[in-house]
Structure 1
Amino acid sequence: MITPKAFHRLVPDGDTHERDVCATCGFVNYQNPRIVVGSVVRHAGKVLLCRRAIEPRRGFWTVPAGYLELGETPEDGARREAREEALAQLKLGELLAVYSVPHLSQVQLIWRAELMDPGTGAALYGVGEESLEVALFDWDKLPTDEIAFPTVHWMLAHERQVMAKGYSGPFANPA
């Protein structure tokens, strides 16, 4: 019979933070930030947004983004998220921003990207499993009152700044 490990909160030898440590074997259960990867996708002077089909913030608009998977590079993760949410193939450009969201234990890596033509006659984008709707928006007609997360506002503002002044990133959280 396998017995569950009894974990206690303590500062392990040689560490500076309190952790869950197994009282039996000394295993340290490290909890680390989650990495979110995504992209601000442009095409023909517009930006691609996805209306979320899942919680949190179901029904609100976001860029294609999500959690990085184990064994995946951040760039591959950003491309995968675009395929899953918007059925889109991307050409990634510069890293636009690295945002910290400590209250959610997240670090977000966001790229600048362009839609790529899949070359098969298929549409450039579509509605993926995690989206209710996917659309290209003119920059002056963004659904700003329906944006899912504060970081999406930051991403869009930073992309507009790059478009106006050139790339000087990556950006970080606004002051």
Structure 2
Amino acid sequence: MLIRRLCTPSKALRQVWHCQQVAVKCPSLFRAERFAIHPGPGRTATATMSASTIQKDKPSKMQAKFCKQCGGTITFSIPEGDQEWRHVCTSCGFIDYYNPKMVVGCIVEHKGKLMLCKRAIDPCKGKWTLPAGFMELNESSMAGARRETAEEANANVEVVAPYAHLDIPTIAQTYIIFRARLAEPYTYSAGTESLAVQFFEPHEIPFDQLAFSSVAITLEHYLQDCKQGTFHIHHGVIDKRPASSPNDPTTFTLRDHVAIPTQMPAKL
């Protein structure tokens, strides 16, 4: 049932408050229905919302100021039928969607050791990480993981199996890590984004000098799998404290962890 009324801004605010109360007391009334509030004559703004979006806070930071289509001004708005604040052009109505970034990389094994790269760029310059980076357009996640390893470690690798899928909602990133083996010609060296590339024995991994929470969690599970003798495919969500450092162990936790055993024996 649609409720459309001409009202002053103060009445509009009261109407939103009223619907919030109704939504709490009678949630069944808001399963599919929506209501629209139209300001009085002479006003152009139209606020369209549902009970599920009334409580959403408007983002404080914009990702863009101008429209990709026409160059018009971008503003925050909740489009009709949507539940999220979007970047919307005030001139042509184009909606510019911003979605989480995908990071892909490899755990590279060679002669019982694991490859780590010392970062030459911020964030976390000088700390150790797995060879990984943002996935590009027109490539698969596996191809992106091999490319990133080639760029950061000048190494050719053979991907063996998927290993970890970790979501970090706080920073809008998803990590997909593959197990891989160093391949011919079995050479490696520091790429432009690395200060050094080194293979570590499992007990030598410098956990106190790792760059990112995703890397620490992935390596911890990898060593556990090796100890148990069976590899798993891991999935989980990393909850980070807002504005925390990338790998302060006191500021992040792993939740909803799922580990699916594979038939591949863990060997180092």
Please give the alpha-carbon distance, in whole angstroms, between the structure 2 residues aligned to 1:145 and 1:90. 27
**Does 1:66 pair with 2:66?**
no
Is the Cα–Cα contact under 8 Å of residues 86 and 127 in structure 1 kept in the other structure? yes
| Percent identity between the two aligned chains | 39
Larger deviation, residues 36-45 vs 4-13: 4-13
Q: TM-score, normalised by structure 1?
A: 0.91
- Aligned CA distance change for structure 1 residues 69 and 144 (closer, same or farther; 3 Å): same
Runs (5+) with no aligned partner, structure 1: none
CA gap of 1:37–1:3, structure 2 versus 1, over 3 A, is: closer
Inter-partner Cα distance in structure 1 for 2:101 and 2:233:
22
Check whether the contact 1:158–1:171 (CA below 8 A) recurs between aligned residues: no
Larger radius of gyration: 2
Counterpart residue number, 1:164:
227
Q: CA separation of 1:3/1:99 partners in 2, compared to 1, >3 Å: closer, same or farther?
A: closer
Unaligned 5+ segments in structure 2 are 1-68, 238-253, 256-268
Render the CA deviation track for 1:15-72: whole Å, top value 9, x for unaligned: 1111011111110010000000001111100000000001000000000000001111
Displaced runs of 4 or more, over 6 A: none
TM-score w.r.t. length of structure 2: 0.61
Q: How many residues align?
A: 170
RMSD over aligned CA atoms reads: 1.6
Alignment partner, residue 151 of structure 1: 214
Amino acid at match of 1:21: V
Give me the whole-angstrom Cα distance separating, in 2, the residues matched to 1:168 and 1:139: 17
The 1-side partners of 2:172 and 2:96 are apart by 16
CA contact (8 A) 2:70 2:92 kept: no
Cα deviation, residue 163, structure 1: 2.0
Distance 2:235 2:78 in 1: 34
Equivalent of 2:181 in 111, 114, 122: 114
Write the distance in 2 (CA, Å) between the matches of 1:3 and 1:78. 36
Structure with the bigger RCO (C-alpha within 8 Å, sep 6+) is: 1
Distance 1:154 1:93 in 2: 20
Helix, strand or coil: the match of 2:199?
strand
Letter in 2 for 1:167: F
CA 1:158–1:26 in 2, change beyond 3 Å: closer, same or farther?
A: same
Report the Cα distance in structure 1 between the residues aligned to 2:206 and 2:124, rounded to whole angstroms: 14
Match of 2:188 in 1: 125
What letter is aligned with 1:69?
Answer: E
Q: Which amino acid in the other structure matches residue 95 of structure 1? A: P
